[in-house]
Structure 1
């Protein structure tokens, strides 16, 4: 699945994996050594994240019910807690440095 910024018509990731069950969200990216540069992880439902037990920095996008960007964090280092956005319903985690051109208010889409 692809992650697309519909506002700018830009592909953010060609390999979007989904973590929609409790255990897949719980595990997330913990204990992974790295994340491929063209991949992303969609956590749903989710309002906030942490980077405990992670070994690399990530960029984070917080989405509301309509997949509109309500928050962004760049270069979140291991061992930290991300912001909590009250309007967030899901979170996208990407490798650090992948959020160029993404702004609050943009709408994201998921495509096969």
Structure 2
């Protein structure tokens, strides 16, 4: 088994306000940025200025769907999703070929200011 951290700049969004805002307040994200929405089945792009890619995972961290180029003022919903990850549009990874693969998502409190140390690891079996 080979493990690789694929998005070292991962934002763990758990509060209502964080989830509502998502990445709408951000002007630009990089290919190394990811926005992790645990226990979430839907995301929106209302108010965003750029498209995004979205990965849907089931409760075991298995990638079950990939939505490329979700343009502003749209919504993405997947009934079997347990977790969603937002990425920059046209993420350079071959996401569609990863359907069925497992991601390991880890979050732990980093400091008193409610910042989190997060990582997403791609697990090749």
Same fold flag (TM > 0.5) = yes
Deviation string 1:70-101 (CA, Å, 9 cap, x unpaired) is: 1110111111111x222101100010121632
Unaligned ranges ≥5, structure 1:
1-5
Pair 1:40 & 2:39 matched: no
- TM-score normalized by the length of structure 1: 0.82
Specify the alignment match of 2:10 in structure 1: 16
Q: Distance in 2 between matches of 1:99 and 1:52?
A: 24
Q: Distance in 1 between matches of 2:13 and 2:89?
A: 19
Specify the alignment match of 2:72 in structure 1: 78
Structure 1 residues 97 and 11: alpha-carbon distance in aligned structure 2, compared to 1, 3 A threshold? farther
Unaligned ranges ≥5, structure 2:
107-118, 120-125
- TM-score normalized by the length of structure 2: 0.74
Pair 1:57 & 2:58 matched: no
Contact 1:63 1:89 in 2 (8 A): yes
Computed over aligned residues only, the root mean square deviation of the Cα atoms, in angstroms, reads 1.9
Pair 1:94 & 2:74 matched: no
Q: Distance in 1 between matches of 2:28 and 2:61?
A: 26
